[in-house]
Amino acid sequence: MYNLLMMQPQGQDANPLMSFLPLLLIVVVFYFFMIRPQMKRQKEVRKFRESLAKGDKVVTTGGIYGRIVEVKETYIVLEIARDVQIKVDKNGIVKDMTDVAPQK
């Protein structure tokens, strides 16, 4: 019985490309729908963090809103209230708030 299941139908040769086609298709789908967009987002975030400048209003990963007072190589000094400044790693900045309309 086992030999009957393992035998190929007569007249058909097994095409190795056809057996790998579904796997290849899955890899291509993962690349275009998951890997490529993630790489694009990482590039945009890196570009944003490199372009931070004094006076920009930003939000940290912890949800702290503030204005940049000083920019260094790996960190920034953020003013969160009048005369209250904190040092934040550049990787902790998530978005720029300069284009957000003030709430009433």
The pLDDT of residue 14 = 64
pTM for this predicted structure: 0.60
Q: Where are the domains of the chain?
A: 16-51, 53-96
Of the candidates 39, 43, 60, which has an alpha carbon nearest to the alpha carbon of residue 51? 43
Q: What is the pLDDT of residue 101?
A: 47
Class of domain 53-96: mainly beta
Residue 1 reports pLDDT greater than 70: no
Phi and psi torsions of 12, nearest 5°: -120, 130
**How does pLDDT run across 29-43, given as a tens digit for each residue?**
988 889 999 999 889
pLDDT in tens, 87-103: 999 999 987 665 554 55
